[in-house]
Structure 1
Amino acid sequence: MGPPPYPGRTLSRAPRANAHAERWIGSARRECTDRMLILGERHLHVVLTDYATHYNEHRPHQALDQEPPGPLPPTAGPTTATKI
């Protein structure tokens, strides 16, 4: 028996060890890269960046009752003070 795996690494040939990554990779392949001809590494990067934006912001999510995630709540920013 060899040494334990490094922290943060998954075991080889163990798809359940990192189910979230496996799910995203499968979705990206089925919904994106299997439907187009990728012309190079730069093109692949652009396509996957656009798909990641779609996946995280516009695609329906089961946990949200098939609704896309809403806009992020506003953050507190600088305010302008007025004199009365």
Structure 2
Amino acid sequence: MGIEQVKTAPHSPWQNPYCERVIGSIRRDCLNHIMVLIEKYLKSILSDYFEYYHHDRTHLASFKRYP
């Protein structure tokens, strides 16, 4: 198919803006407000956040527009 892999430098938001935006959202909305000591707890918190992010959060592009 002619697809080639392009490597990006870590922590370079101008090279991979989509990934950096998701990571920033997770940090701001979820991880800045808790202190994680156990990996199992972190997985539980992140799975709850992803469920909220994909199902309950207001998306401007869907039918859940702001009033």
TM above 0.5, one fold? yes
The residue matched to 2:46 in structure 1 has which SS?
A: helix
Partner of 1:48: 46
- 1:10-53 Cα shifts (integer Å, max 9, x gaps): 22342122222211111111111111121211111111111011
Q: Distance in 2 between matches of 1:8 and 1:44?
A: 31
4+ residue stretches of structure 1 with deviation over 3 A? none
- Percentage identity across paired residues of the two chains: 34
Q: How many residues align?
A: 62
1:14 paired to 2:12: yes
CA–CA separation in structure 2 for the residues paired with 1:38 and 1:47: 9
Q: Which has the larger radius of gyration?
A: 1
Q: What TM-score do you get using the length of structure 2 for normalisation?
A: 0.71
Q: 1:63 to 1:9 in 2, by over 3 A?
A: farther
Q: CA RMSD in A?
A: 2.3
